[in-house]
Amino acid sequence: MIKSISLTLNKGIYVYNIVGFDDRKDCMIQVDATNNKILGQSTQVLNYDFDKETYLNLNKTISLKEATEIATKEFRNSIPISWELEDVNDQAIWKIILIRDEQKREIKINAETKELI
Q: Please write the tens of the pLDDT for every residue from 57-102.
A: 999 999 999 999 999 999 999 999 999 999 998 899 999 999 999 9
The H or E element spanning position 41 is strand 38-45
Looking at every residue in the chain, the average pLDDT score rounds to 93
- Residue pair 6/84 in contact (Cβ under 8 Å)? The answer is yes
Question: Domain spans of the chain?
Answer: 2-110
| 16-58 pLDDT per residue, tens | 999 998 888 889 999 999 999 999 999 998 776 656 667 899 9
Residue 77 has what pLDDT? 96
Neighbours of 89 (CB within 10 A): 6
Residue 49 has what pLDDT? 64
- Residue pair 111/66 in contact (Cβ under 8 Å)? The answer is no
- Residue pair 56/106 in contact (Cβ under 8 Å)? The answer is no
How is the beta sheet containing 25-32 ordered, strand by strand? 38-45, 25-32, 13-21, 2-10, 79-88, 91-100, 103-110
Residue with the larger pLDDT of the pair 115 and 1: 115
Q: Confidence class of residue 111 from pLDDT cuts 50, 70 and 90?
A: very high
* Cα(67)–Cα(83) distance, integer angstroms: 9
Residue 37 has what pLDDT? 97
Backbone angles phi, psi at 88, to 5 degrees: -125, 110
